[in-house]
Chains A and B, each alone.
Chain A
Amino acid sequence: MLNKLLLRQLQKRSISPETLPPEMQSLLNDISSSYEHFNKDREMLERSIDLTSQEMKELNHKLKQETLEVKKAHEELKNFFMNIEEVFYSIDLVNYKLIHISPGCEKMFGYSQAEFEANPHLWRSLILQEDLPVYDEAISNVLIGKSHICCLRIRHLNKSIKWLELKMTSHINASGEIIRFDGVSNDITGRKEAENTVKENENRFRSLIENSNEGIILLNENGECLFASRSSEKILQKPHDSLISNNFFNIILEEDLETMSETFRMLKENPGETFNCTVRIYGENGEVMWIDSDSTNLMHVKGIEAIVTNFRDVTDRINTLDLLKAKNSDLEKTNIELDKFVYSVTHDLRAPLSSILGLIQMVKDDNANHELEENIDMIHASVLKLDSFIQDILDYARNSRTEVRGDAIDFGEMISEICGNLKFMNRQNKQVNIVTKLHLTNNFISDKGRIRILLNNLISNAIKYQNQNCPDPMISINVDTSDTEADIVVKDNGIGIDKALHDKIFDMFYRVSNISSGNGLGLYIVKEAVNKLNGSIVVDSEPGKGTEFRIKIPNIYSQNSN
């Protein structure tokens, strides 16, 4: 089969292949088939060339990409190198020349790359004198091929001191010679300062613990001592060795072992909570010391894992307390004795007086002699005065020394009792009309004895100092009680007191005039009693018109319930 191209050429020449001689035909056939082969090979080749050029393109692209990346990385690295705070440097040991130094040097030292390159000794000159041995040791290590890390201080151009950490590595060539070393220096001033602060704090706390008057010990769960501060040795008067790993139950007095065991039990059951206990221990010379302690179970806290106890010597405090208690009970005893004494003395003073009064009464009843009766009346008045003085002294003594009591006060009963007792107090006086008005709440609580003292004094004064010219002497007693206080007003139409003297009438032994038959104690005692009851008293009086005393006494009932 001839190929088309050959056929077309034959047709152009108007040659029919069949007309050709057989040799020619066979040749043409061979040519045709060779051509076909060739054509096939050519096509294959062309395809293969196409393929190759595609790959080449891709490869080329990739290469471009990679170059870009390398460039970028290089930029980054350069950037990193330029901007990194650590300073990198390499030194040529053959020529002793700085090969390069990273620009961070400007920030770290205050000098530029150029300055470092120009002066090979600049670097060493920045190191503090006292740290030079550290640097020299590092260099000598590097020169024998060892890597080295050290910390030293340099002085910045601006005079500030910086702590640097240096890492140095040496490079060795193929023939084993050290040709260069590389170094990184790192500013660790901040870290060093923090370290120093930690160290200072630790020192401070250590010295606090060591020098404190409080002892601090760490105990394990059996009571054995794991740590004892120096102050513990001082307080417990025992050497350190005898404290450590000694069981604290061993130095405690037998009587207090139970207290200690109980505290330990509570500590074990309540981690993190603090318990106080006071126990006695034997001191160095066998004397007993009181130790007060606060313990916290910190077994669960990592790094402590112990019962932390701080303690103090309270022997003096407890001894003083015991002494005070003894003194106090002595004082109480003295007070009771004094009380008894006052009652006995007043009783013994009054007993003969009452006998005299009884006798006077009898003489008066039996005797009709006018003059004698007058004399007897005078004796009677004097005796009454002496008797009331003795009672006043007793009231005063009781008021100044006894505690305020809280009794329910029945004003009605108290006032009628007082008025009953005062009815016959002064026969020269006219009968006084006493009008009592009460507005009372259910509970008024105060000191019965003192309330009686002040009512008794005010009412008896009102009777004593009545106006002889007044046809109808009268006293009005008003008592108003509320949940918070009692408002007591005792008012009379008696002789009255000059305003200028109002400030003085409450003074001890002050008497308004010679006419007054009192002893100058009555109102002083009233004032003192009012003070003891935390109350107040005011007087309103005018000569010839009368006197009004107004007393306010707090209701203890309301204070207790609030």
Chain B
Amino acid sequence: MAKYTRVMLIDDTQVDRYIGEKNIIKCGMAEKVICIESATDALKELLVLSEDPSSLPELILLDIRMPEMDGFEFLSKFEGLPSIVHERCPVMMLSTSLNPEDIKKAEASPFVKRFINKPLNKEQIINLMKIDLSPAEG
């Protein structure tokens, strides 16, 4: 039995979506990975899913560097989504960035729970699964 029912993975790089999806399923982190290739599409999808909160992902893995709309822009638009989305969907930032500014910015957002360095390999996933993301933690 997987830990989560649904995890949403937002990444513009096809290979990284593939690696992430495979490893998440293999490690039993989630039964289903909603792979989305742009932040804009993700916002649209979340808005649609918010109509039926039970269908919302229990975790969003968000890449920072993406064309058109990057991860931080996504976060500011994310704030405008229905509050049920904020409650149900904690965010983890995913990047190869070593820029301390990025890490600082990510930590400043109330929605971001973790900053993870890519690649999303098995060890990373196993560590992530140990984290308790229940809303009580804040």
Determine if chain A interacts with chain B.
yes
Residue B55 interfacial (CB < 8 Å): no
Total contacting residues, chain B, CB less than 8 A? 22
In the complex, which residue of chain A has the Cβ closest to the Cβ of B123? A424
Complex Cα distance, B95 from A347, in Å, reads 9
Residue pair B121, A361 in contact (C-beta under 8 Å): yes
Residue pair A359, B65 in contact (C-beta under 8 Å): no
Selected contact of A362 from candidates B13, B16, B22, CB within 8 Å: B22
**Chain B interface secondary structure, helix, strand, loop or mixed?**
mixed
What are the residues of chain B within 8 A of A351 when measuring CB–CB?
13, 16, 65, 96, 118
Chain A, 373-405, CB within 8 A of any chain B CB: 391, 394
Residue A357 interfacial (CB < 8 Å): yes
Residue A346 interfacial (CB < 8 Å): yes
Residue A365 interfacial (CB < 8 Å): yes
One digit per residue, 1 when the CB lies within 8 angstroms of any chain A CB and 0 when it does not, for chain B 98-138 equals 11100000000000000001111111000000000000000
Residue pair B98, A391 in contact (C-beta under 8 Å): yes
- Most chain A CB within 10 A, of B19, B26, B119, B120, is at B119
Min CB gap A352→B, angstroms: 8
Complex Cα distance, B95 from A362, in Å, reads 19
What are the residues of chain A within 8 A of B99 when measuring CB–CB?
343, 347
Residue B97 interfacial (CB < 8 Å): yes
Residue pair B100, A358 in contact (C-beta under 8 Å): no
One digit per residue, 1 when the CB lies within 8 angstroms of any chain B CB and 0 when it does not, for chain A 341-355 equals 001001100110111
In the complex, which residue of chain A has the Cβ closest to the Cβ of B64? A347
Complex Cα distance, B118 from A394, in Å, reads 17
Residue pair A357, B98 in contact (C-beta under 8 Å): no
In the complex, which residue of chain A has the Cβ closest to the Cβ of B14? A355
Residue B1 interfacial (CB < 8 Å): no
Residue A449 interfacial (CB < 8 Å): yes
What are the residues of chain A within 8 A of B120 when measuring CB–CB?
358
Residue B38 interfacial (CB < 8 Å): no
Given contacts A351-B118, A354-B119, are A359 and B97 in contact (CB under 8 A)? no
Residue pair B96, A350 in contact (C-beta under 8 Å): yes
What are the residues of chain B within 8 A of A357 when measuring CB–CB?
119, 121
Residue pair B118, A347 in contact (C-beta under 8 Å): no
Complex Cα distance, B120 from A362, in Å, reads 11
Which are the 8 A-B pairs with shortest beta-carbon distances? A358-B119, A358-B19, A354-B118, A343-B99, A354-B119, A355-B15, A350-B96, A351-B96
A355-B118, A358-B20 known; 6 new pairs, CB 8 Å cut-off, are A343-B99, A347-B99, A351-B118, A355-B19, A361-B122, A362-B22
- B interface list, Cβ under 8 A from A: 13, 15-16, 19-20, 22-23, 26, 65, 95-100, 117-123
Enumerate 22 A-B pairs (CB-CB under 8 Å) in ascending A order.
A343-B98, A347-B95, A347-B96, A351-B13, A351-B118, A354-B16, A354-B96, A354-B118, A355-B13, A355-B118, A355-B119, A357-B121, A358-B19, A358-B121, A361-B119, A361-B121, A361-B122, A362-B22, A362-B23, A365-B122, A424-B123, A449-B100
